[in-house]
Structure 1
């Protein structure tokens, strides 16, 4: 039996938290910008911290598991 929960959660969060795809914190001209398709070092750091925090919550605190046969 394989546990696909961590894989699916990690891929979805990686896609959603890619800087500049949906949003970017901090933006170039504002605190948050939506869909600008640009990035910066600060934005990469902020999004990496958000990714780490959310994946920790979903995988360790909540314990998401998807089992397949």
Structure 2
């Protein structure tokens, strides 16, 4: 049985935490910018930490499993 949880959760979190797509933390002139389609090195670092943290929460702490069959 294949576990699809890491793939599906990773895809959703990747889209949600792409810097500049929905929000950017920290923004160019403000702490948070929404839908600006721009990025910076610090923003990439912050968003990758958020992505890693949420992946750990969903896959290790909560142990989400999505089976196929």
For the aligned pair, the TM-score class normalised by the smaller chain equals over 0.9
Q: Give the RMSD, CA atoms, in angstroms.
A: 0.5
In 2, the alpha carbon distance for the partners of 1:30 and 1:55 equals 27
SS of the residue corresponding to residue 58 of structure 2 reads helix
Runs of 4+ in 1 over 4 A off after TM superposition: none
1:55 is aligned to 2:19 = no
**Cross-structure match for 2:23:** 23
TM-score of the aligned structures, taking structure 1 as reference length = 0.97
Structure 2 residues without counterparts, runs of 5 or longer: none
TM-score of the aligned structures, taking structure 2 as reference length = 0.97
- Count of residue correspondences: 69
Q: Using the TM superposition, give the Cα deviation of residue 18 of structure 1 relative to its aligned residue in structure 2, in angstroms.
A: 0.1
Structure 1 residues without counterparts, runs of 5 or longer: none
Q: Using the TM superposition, give the Cα deviation of residue 49 of structure 1 relative to its aligned residue in structure 2, in angstroms.
A: 0.5
